[in-house]
């Protein structure tokens, strides 16, 4: 095997060192090893190596096959066959939801682009459909320019406005507050919006860890460390993706604030839950 093929595509230690140098400096080695374990570093790198030549759609299809996931849709006809549009979605599965969407929309709209945490740009197979945002330095000019460029394009713009995976709130799995950014940019660049509801849930462990963290007043999203581990629990599941009716940008007038319209679109998404 060539030396290039041996390199770690996902290098947990490197990412921690770059994104959280303070934590990396003082964290005991067993903590780093534990993080590597729950992130399935070896398994993920092996899978990526085996599918290193896959296109984005083939890679996503390979993931669905590996986990024996069935994806169905309702309302796919609401997605226009051309022209820029924003798909505003709930985020129940932390990555599997995005890949599931790609597998069902690619024939109609192969020009999908996702706004994601820039850490995910390490996934070479999917890099071409990702627009990375530096969540550590949210004011990074490069990130903002790329997002603005995307909103001026004719691509299908896929966004999870909560910015985080859904949590269990009052016994119901749902997104936290949606950020208003997608509304502001949609209005600025005159992009219509389609609400999209994705079925799915993670394990009780994930939701209970979130609840415990909140009760203890811990600000850091420690449960996020377990997202890849949660992905590996998604075997033999069915994911239904429901596309709502298009919301014309003219509807988003001054009768509500941008935050208010973000809440409105979120409510439209959850009306699709059946």
CATH number at residue 262: 3.40.1130.10
Q: Which domain holds residue 31?
A: 1-50
User: What is the residue whose two structure tokens read 């069902």?
Assistant: 104
For residue 144, count other CB atoms closer than 10 A to its CB: 14
The Cα–Cα gap between 45 and 18 comes to 19
Instruction: Please tell me whether residues 193 and 116 are part of one structural domain.
Output: yes
Instruction: Please tell me whether residues 137 and 160 are part of one structural domain.
Output: yes
pLDDT in 10s for each residue of the chain, 274 residues: 344 445 677 888 988 888 788 888 888 999 999 999 999 999 999 999 999 999 999 999 999 999 999 999 999 999 999 999 999 999 999 899 999 999 999 999 999 999 998 888 888 899 999 999 877 665 555 677 899 999 999 999 999 999 999 999 999 999 999 999 999 999 999 999 999 999 999 999 999 999 999 999 998 889 999 999 999 999 999 999 999 999 999 999 999 999 999 999 999 999 999 7
The Cα–Cα gap between 103 and 239 comes to 11
Domain boundary among 50, 69, 91: 50
Instruction: Please tell me whether residues 30 and 62 are part of one structural domain.
Output: no
The Cα–Cα gap between 211 and 246 comes to 35
Bridge partners for 255 per DSSP: none
Instruction: Please tell me whether residues 120 and 222 are part of one structural domain.
Output: yes
Instruction: Please tell me whether residues 26 and 122 are part of one structural domain.
Output: no
Number of domains in the chain: 2
Question: What is this structure's pTM?
Answer: 0.90
Instruction: Please tell me whether residues 86 and 191 are part of one structural domain.
Output: yes
Instruction: Please tell me whether residues 189 and 114 are part of one structural domain.
Output: yes
Bridge partners for 194 per DSSP: 87
The Cα–Cα gap between 191 and 85 comes to 5
The Cα–Cα gap between 164 and 116 comes to 10
Bridge partners for 168 per DSSP: 173
């Amino acid at each position: 095997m060539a030396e290039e093929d041996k390199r770690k595509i996902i290098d947990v230690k490197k990412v921690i060192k770059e994104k959280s140098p303070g934590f990396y400096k003082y964290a005991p080695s067993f903590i780093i090893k534990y993080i590597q374990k729950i992130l399935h570093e070896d398994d993920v790198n092996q899978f990526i190596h085996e599918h290193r030549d896959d296109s984005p759609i083939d890679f996503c299809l390979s993931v669905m096959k590996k986990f024996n996931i069935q994806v169905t849709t309702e309302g796919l006809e609401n997605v226009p066959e051309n022209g820029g549009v924003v798909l505003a979605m709930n985020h129940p599965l932390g990555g599997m939801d995005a890949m599931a969407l790609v597998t069902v929309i690619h024939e109609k709209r192969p020009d999908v682009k996702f706004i994601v945490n820039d850490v995910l740009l390490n996934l070479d197979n999917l890099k071409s459909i990702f627009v990375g945002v530096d969540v550590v330095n949210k004011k990074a000019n490069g990130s903002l320019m790329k997002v603005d460029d995307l909103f001026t394009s004719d691509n299908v713009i896929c966004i999870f406005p909560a910015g985080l995976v859904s949590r269990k709130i009052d016994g119901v799995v749902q997104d936290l507050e949606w950020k208003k950014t997608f509304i502001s940019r949609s209005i600025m660049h005159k992009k219509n919006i389609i609400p999209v509801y994705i079925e799915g849930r993670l394990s009780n462990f994930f939701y209970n860890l979130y609840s415990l963290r909140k009760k203890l007043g811990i600000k850091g999203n420690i449960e996020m460390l377990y997202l890849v581990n949660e992905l590996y629990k998604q075997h033999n599941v069915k994911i239904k993706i429901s596309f709502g009716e298009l919301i014309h940008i003219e509807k988003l007038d001054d009768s509500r604030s941008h935050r208010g319209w973000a809440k409105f679109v979120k409510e439209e998404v959850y009306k699709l839950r059946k």
